[in-house]
Amino acid sequence: MKKQLLLLLVTFVFLFACSNDDDQGGFINVIAGCGVSNVAQDLDWLREEINRREDSTAEEMKYCYIISADLNGETIFIYEDCNPLVDKAFPILNCEGTIINPIEATEPFPYADIANRQLLWTPSNFECSFNL
């Protein structure tokens, strides 16, 4: 009887200790915006981008993340990167998936007006540590 109880206990420990986080992909926060209740699921272009990133085998992807924020009352999305060895411009997109801060812009972008930054997506092997 003790052996059966011990075997049962060990089985439960293995069942609950092991996780399949790698199968679940990265972190996705449910955020309302752009007229939908879940931007990561309901905006086709954004869902496709998240899927593309989760399917990527690039080593650098562990530094990439997506932010949702507000700019003058509109929802925006920022593709950010925390790689300490890279300095780059971050694309900012509107609800249609159009880049609104193109590099070739002649007017300065109102970065100071970005508010309510929320972490929307990170990969399962995310390497960054920060406060928004």
Structure confidence by residue, pLDDT tens digits, 22-53: 445 789 999 999 999 999 999 999 999 999 99
10 close to 70: Cβ distance less than 8 angstroms: no
Q: Residue 14 and residue 27: Cα distance in Å, rounded?
A: 24
Which residues are CB-contacts of 12 (< 8 A; sequence separation ≥ 6)?
none
At 126, which amino acid appears? F
Query: Cβ of 84: how many Cβ atoms within 10 Å?
Result: 8
Most confident region among 7-11, 14-18, 80-84, 117-121 by mean pLDDT: 117-121
Which residues are CB-contacts of 46 (< 8 A; sequence separation ≥ 6)?
39, 40, 66, 77, 97
pLDDT at 62: 95
Integer CA distances (angstroms), 96 to 23, 40, 45, in order: 29, 13, 8
Return the higher-pLDDT residue of 88 and 47.
47
75, pLDDT greater than 60? yes
Upper half-sphere CA count for residue 73 (Cβ side, 13 Å)? 0
pLDDT band at 11 (very low <50, low <70, confident <90, very high): very low
pLDDT at 101: 95
The arrangement of strands across the sheet holding 64-71 comes to 27-28, 114-122, 64-71, 74-81, 92-93
pLDDT at 83: 93
pLDDT band at 70 (very low <50, low <70, confident <90, very high): very high
Q: Is the pTM of this model over 0.85?
A: no
